[in-house]
Structure 1
Amino acid sequence: MSKITIIGSGNIGLSLAKGLVKSGQYISEDITLTRRSLVNLQEEAALGFQVSDDNTQAVMEAEIVVLAILPQQLRRVLEDIKDTLHTQQILVSVISGVNCADIKQVLGDDKVVVRAMPNTAIAIGQSMTCIAADNASDTVTDRVQRLFESVGSVVVIQEDLMTSATALCACGIAFFLRAIRAASQGGVEIGFHAHDALKMAVQTAKGAADLLLQTQNHPEGEIDKVTSPKGCTIAGLNEMEHNGFSSAFIKGIKLSAEKAGGLYNE
């Protein structure tokens, strides 16, 4: 079992740690979490995770080092740990807008770097994670893929698509959550209590997603099954489209991709 150090235990870092333990393939004692203030990791320490405010010390025995910090913090952190890292370690970056080359520019070209873009559903083992590497071996890529497959689904992509993956999968979870919220608000307006409307919207969204995952059908094929001539479903869909539903969703994804691509340079 690998020893893993996660530098930057914010939402994604903690979600990854808890998801790995929940998968049963890792134990909390083999995962070290770092943060500038240990006060914020008391709950995790009580769950058995190793905690540290010293990144240099924390990476010494790790086989896999996950960088889960803000892009603006990256250079300082890399400068702190670069003399401690060795070439057998795998660095996994989940930082938006940061290329493998950006990291190697500080650490050196002999380091092994793989990028990964999970989303917060990783905490319950349901992440959609995209991974990419510049020149890491297939063995390394497969190892990182298995790591993230323990907490969801994985697609290996070209690195130049990572900012797009950020928008579609990482930002995307917020987009779908907002759609569910909107559906529940619509439910309240047509007569349901808020808690019932939210439960109904959530399960309907889950059913739609599972339907596509299990049947591998195209969404439009499933839509056709519930849209009858002059029916209430097509009337509702067309009203949403008249008000720009699909267009707004697509524009939001495109803008998030543009923003993700420039985060490291801000």
Structure 2
Amino acid sequence: MSSEKKKVAILGGGNMGVALANGMVASGKYQPADITLTRRNLRSLDEMVQLGFRATSDNAKAVAEADIIILSILPQQLDSVLDTIAVSVDAHRHLFVSIVTGVYVSDIISRLGKPVEVIRAMPNTAIAIRESMTCIAGSEASDENRALVCKIFDAVGETVEIEEELMTSATALCACGIAFFLRSIRAATQGGTEIGFHAADALRMAAQTAKGAASLLLHFQSHPENEIDKVTSPKGCTIAGLNEMEHHGFSSALIKGIKTSSSKAEQLYHKDK
């Protein structure tokens, strides 16, 4: 059966679950009717239902009617959700994709008590516009299922397969990283406003400049310092600004933030007894 014909249940219709659903449909590989979103408060999914997606508050029912189960819930919700759906899980039919922070494949298999195939994926919210950076790990899953999951996320951005022990690091760099880069754009916007631009204009200018910087690196497969060298002249304004930022710990703060997020991600899931 091709991936386009498989039914998908996204357990957890929050921001990431909705972004994933929208991205999958935007890719042209899935129709809204192929995807069921679950959430306790279904009114939050009214807009998705109007777009043709299915919605339910019954996780077990959603699992029973799907082929691919995507876990898009908080770590502290995981054990209760797995306990609720275990009766509906068919190890020979269902493929689990977990985007739950800090949860290992073995944790899910152990809690379900069934030898299901589980692949971990860590996308970010840019998946809604098909610009996610998604890291995937699932060395014990079949080649066919790993290829299927890669195909899903390739359609909504870039993917890279990594070892599972690096998934929490991927969470900090790619998923949390969205917020870090957005905060830097906000700071640039505030700087632009202080030097004379209207806030809306400063935001547009800062965001496009950030997009251009990232595109340079991806297009030329270049190192950031190579591109920085092209805009820093002796005694110039760019190097003066860069040095001032470094004097105030710009790079150090970003590195420390990523390390802190990675450490926190490791601590989010606590197994119920």
2:167 maps to which residue?
Answer: 162
TM-score, structure 1 length as denominator? 0.98
Q: Is 2:258 aligned against 1:264? A: no
Structure 1, unmatched stretches of 5+, are none
Q: 1:1-266 residue pairs with structure 2 within 5 A? A: 1=4, 2-87=6-91, 88-265=93-270
Structure 2, unmatched stretches of 5+, are none
Cα offsets for 1:22-50 (capped at 9, x unmatched): 11111000000111121111111111001
* Aligned-partner Cα distance in 2 for 1:42–1:62: 21
Deviation of 1:61 after TM superposition, in Å, equals 2.3
* Aligned-partner Cα distance in 2 for 1:37–1:227: 53
* Aligned-partner Cα distance in 2 for 1:244–1:221: 21
Runs (4 or more) in structure 1 with deviation over 6 Å come to none
For the 8 Å contact 1:126–1:152, the answer to whether it is kept is yes
Greater alpha carbon shift after TM alignment, 254-263 vs 104-113: 104-113
Give the RMSD, CA atoms, in angstroms: 0.9
SS, match of residue 120 in structure 2: strand
Give aligned pairs, total: 266
Cα offsets for 1:109-160 (capped at 9, x unmatched): 5111010000000000000000101411111111100000111000100000
For the 8 Å contact 1:100–1:134, the answer to whether it is kept is no
* Aligned-partner Cα distance in 1 for 2:230–2:114: 54
Cα offsets for 1:53-110 (capped at 9, x unmatched): 1111111121110000111110010001111111221100000011001101111351
For the 8 Å contact 1:3–1:63, the answer to whether it is kept is yes
**Counterpart amino acid of residue 30 in structure 2:** Y
**Counterpart amino acid of residue 81 in structure 2:** V
TM-score, structure 2 length as denominator? 0.96
